[in-house]
Structure 1
Amino acid sequence: MATNKGYTTVSDPDTSAKALSKEQPVSPKFAREVAGLIRGMKVSDAQKTLEGVIAKEVPVPLKRYNKRVSHKQGVGPGRYPVKASKAILAALNSAASNADYKGLDSANMAISTITISRGMVIPGHRPRAQGRATQWNQETVNIEIIISEVE
């Protein structure tokens, strides 16, 4: 029995490629919102969208925890999560490279699965007055992308 090394199960390994990026120092909230934005898109469209978010031209709509967030034109409450977009773009480019290596046409592929899960928390502290300290931890995420050929 073969193990999948932490990946979600792939329906057809002959027509799909995958990439896993672990322990990325990114906010889990923003990573989930960016993943929801590009889920189901073709690879080339998703890359353009993520580059637009990095350039602060395409806003990412915030579906949850969006109180007191200013509205962006056409999407409602939204922001430009650059750090999360860069991490997800790197994972997407890795999946596209894996598809090219397998002999698949990455231009004719779409994101079938994109999963964001919490990684480990890197402990830290911030010095405060009177010799005290406050927790100042760094959250990480695991990004998993599976792309498959479009019929």
Structure 2
Amino acid sequence: MARVNYAYRPKDELNAAKAMGYEMPISFKHAVEICRAIKGKKIDDAIEYLEDVVAMERAVPFKNHKKKVAHKKGLEKWYAGRYPVKASTYILKVLENLKANAEYKGLELNRLVITHAQAKKGRVIKRYMPRAYGRATPKFKILTTVEIVAEVR
């Protein structure tokens, strides 16, 4: 049994492919914005999009976490954006896994559309940095789980 269940259950399991990146050391906020950007795209288009983000050619629109985020060119109907390279490389691996899972199931890749892309907070790795006068500063690392489901449309 899986440690984390999918939050979304497709209507037809035979015509859907699923992939999950479990507790990755990436920013939760960046993962949320990337998942919003790739939802509704075909798998190959999403992979190409994230490769462009890693190469810093296309920006990811930041719609929720946009406070003090600079404007970027090339965004459609939005102004704030960034190039989350580290999170994009990890989610790119999840997309490659999704593509391999779809091929293994024998699904047509050109008809698959990402219907569900979600980022969840995982465990928190708690560390403390000792400071002067017996104090300590917390250094917490929040891990992120990303799940992606693609269905035949």
TM-score clears 0.5 = yes
Structure 1: gaps spanning 5 or more residues: none
* 1:50 counterpart residue number: 50
Report the counterpart of residue 140 of structure 2 in structure 1. Answer: 137
Contact 2:35/2:118 (<8 A) preserved: yes
- Counterpart CA distance in 2 for 1:66 and 1:130 is 38
Measured against aligned partners, the alpha-carbon deviations of 1:101-144 in whole angstroms (never above 9, x if no partner) come to 01112233110111111101111123333443211111111111
What is the rounded CA distance, in whole Å, between the counterparts of 2:58 and 2:138 in structure 1? Answer: 34
What CA distance in whole angstroms lies between the structure 1 residues aligned with 2:105 and 2:65?
40
2:84 aligned residue (78, 81, 84): 81
Secondary structure (helix, strand or coil) at the match of 1:72 reads coil
Verify: 1:116 aligned to 2:115, yes or no.
Answer: no
The answer (yes or no) to whether the contact 2:10–2:151 under 8 Å persists in 1 is no
Q: How far, CA to CA, are the matches of 1:105 and 1:126 in structure 2?
A: 51
Counterpart CA distance in 2 for 1:129 and 1:31 is 35
What SS is found at the alignment partner of 1:123? strand
Percent of pairs with identical residues: 40
Q: TM-score, normalised by structure 1?
A: 0.90
Paired residue for 1:100, among 78, 100, 103? 103
Q: Which amino acid aligns with 2:57?
A: E
Q: How far does the alpha carbon of each residue in 1:26-79 deviate from its partner, in whole angstroms, 9 at most, with x for none?
A: 111000000011110011110000001111111011112322221101331111
Distance, in Å, in 2 between the alignment partners of 1:114 and 1:69 is 23
Q: TM-score scaled to structure 2, two decimals? A: 0.89
Matched with 2:69 is: 69
Unaligned runs of 5+ residues in structure 2 are none
Q: What secondary structure sits across from 1:94 in the alignment?
A: helix
